[in-house]
Structure 1
């Protein structure tokens, strides 16, 4: 049952008071703190489910508070409060595992929706943790019972090693000594003629009065002296025997036993008698059958669990996976987890498995993995220790739940808020640039300064292009829309689009070339959205060549051709390149390899545009070698709506 406890952190007393009352009306228990340091002190006595914190505060800001909370209290979710001017910080907070961010002034409906969404996420995490703990408890219980039975078996072996010391006990058995009658074993004495000469009370109760019968008569599969029983073998070899046998009870029931025999010599050193001590294994057999059944149930539970489960060793290698894991990923037994399904060359930072090996506690994180079909999934990962009988951690179980749909909905809602906030900030900057460009244009016209007019014109074109791109972004995120296609000449369109970054490439010192044939035919596209999508790829290529490398000339090439009736466009660069993990995530909303220089929106939009046209994208890239984007577009396309912020599924 969720506690619905929330901590509100803000340096404005009035906001804490009034916003706190609103949140209490939502059904939460609320405590407040005036800054990050006060919040960390309060955490020692008040453990909330959610922390709602302002980003900008004195002494310790919201980002530092977020990092501290996720380090020491990873189970607590954090929502950031931000002004319109703090969008960069808000995006940065998502990279440090903030659950959401809300812009000021706070809208009550938006706040309530965000809180409920985060509480649903917390409930999912708790359910996964409870599921893991139940599995651990089941394994521990069954392991404990097996250990107890093995100890009993070991005790029987000790009895075997003591058998020689019992040579003087024959008389006690024959006279019904209480010591042997109290033993929880079936004890009998046999003479050299393979006759039973004495038994203890327990054997008589289980097998009946067998004194005087042949030694082999009490066994279910021994019929004569020619089929040697353990007693006969002891007489023949002079050594004690140990074997698993089956006795016949008085009622005809078969009793599985472990038999231990020991020779009893006379005064001359000759074997006169054989002591037979047999342990009833019925209970052990029953428990072993029960354990096998439990193991079978556990394996079914393991395989049918609605999540991915792997068992990992201290060196990150995978020793076991469940059926669902095998269905979606290549069988990774013996491989490291980070190379098998995360396509990394080194372990993940803050790996929950290694943290569990270190402290024995369960840990969690969110990550993105790629299936064998190239599908990327957002996963909520939990780790749990697997201990041996002595309490030592030998392996760690990692359970991963697919939260792609939850993250997709959250990203869509978050992107709407981000777009509205960032637009106001971006428009303000572009208006300032427009004012400056108009001033320089008017000044150049008054002074008949052609160079000044040319520079001002370039500035205005650049700003107008940015305004155009921003408007298109609003159209894509504000609502679903249909593309408006027209039939145009492919060669001319591609040349005009490629020319849009001539100036940017020249300014960066990048060699820029095109290879577009004169007659490429026509195709149906929404020219404005497709142009913006291709420019995104071209600008990313320039950015990839931005870092100078001694002795290397950076270059970008744009080519096009007819490919099986479709138009194939290739954009290649010899810049920084990407590793496998980055290639898998480049079309994911808010993922950017540029740090603060990128928002992680451009390629996401470009991918949506190409999907709307029925096209496909493939990526080839290696670190330090460069990148090639191959875009395949059909000549004609059925008009389709925007694919609702879906994450790209291409490699």
Structure 2
């Protein structure tokens, strides 16, 4: 029943008169003087009928019609028109207006228009009710049909299952082959508890019990036939699960786990009982065998002398062996590139990603960062781990440490370079020695003392260089244990200065000693440390001799304590070195003396310092000189 409506007109007099008429007809009347006000009132009260003038300032009646229909398509809108608004009135009908009436508004015409609008509203309500009832009836009928189909399908399934079980019973009577392959005691029993059929495993271990009572296979079963699992299933209609003891054909007792399943006929009664007994002893044997196999493979996994990790598709580590954990720490669940390389992103050409992509094994040589901060060279192989659908679910990564192999290769490469360098250096020294010996022989033949002296000095110098080269080679090639001693620092450095000082003075280079008092003691091998320091001093002297730009040269041999370390400095004002030379200074076979050096001297110095737990650094400026600093730890009693 329609009991309210909205009247919209911009003329106050018409609005009051029409509102009185509508109120007399029994309607609750809401009024508005404009289209904008009408929309506010409509949204607040939701009247089912709107009566509006077409011609209004601002929002016209047509605009109001569109707005109302947009928000509430079921609201009926009656248009009030003037005599010249026939075209507009027709347009309003196209926009689903309910009716239109002419001014001045006649109560009789207004009542007829309202009756039509009310009838349309009531008709829609009835149609909606009929539609809802029809939908409910359709749903109810559909549910009944679905239930019927379900019941019919269930009946068909039950009928088929009953037929299959009847065939199964016949198969058992003929010794069904499927059950013969099961490693369990399988038997089928009728509703009286009689054994109908058994599988071969049952017959071999427990005997042929077909035709006997189901309880007779159990220990003390004849004393309580109603207590057997099959009897309990027949009595309750429920499956049973229990631990029992059966008697084998050899008379031995055998523990089993028994499962019984009732098989019902079409009437719902239990027709057959299927009994499956698991051999507990066999299960334990298989469990032990599985445990031993798992332990064996785990041992192989852990004891393999390679780092092995099992990687998931997201590159997290699922499992790792002992060698992996030793090198990289406990990283299960972590990203493999984070654990092995310290990277946040996957490695370029990651072999695991390639294996996940194409399912093939891949190999890569790379460097790993260990948990101790060291680096190792490794050769990595990957292998796919597949599931039953042949999908690659994980990748096995195996990394072999080839650091020693690479070190050996580098050593062999260095050895080749050494041989080439030595061949060239020895050839030059022998040529020079041949020239010096010619001078000696010539001086002897001619009785030329000056020529003889010069030749002998050259021979002496060349022999010294050959000796130094041989000693460097022996030190570099020889691997021996150090002879560690408790050394007095001042005594050690004094001996070094006495060895190198005379050569410097002889070559016109001033040799200065600056030793701090109370230098203390250190632990080391004097046969390693002393030659290394002498090598530094002789290099400083050579740098001064090569410098022709200065008139006076000097080498300062300095030593002092700094905290717990001994600092030894060798400073010269010789030719100096550029930055590129400084960067290569301690590399093997790199020499600043050209053909006069082996390239081993400073490499050996650094090796000697490293062996004593120390460090060495160098500063230099071309044309001004160089300074070398050696840091050695002093002993605790120093």
Superposition TM-score tier, normalisation by shorter sequence:
0.3 to 0.5
Between the two structures, name the one with larger relative contact order (CA 8 Å, sep ≥ 6): 1
Normalising by the residue count of structure 1, what TM-score does the alignment of the two structures yield?
0.40
Normalising by the residue count of structure 2, what TM-score does the alignment of the two structures yield?
0.41
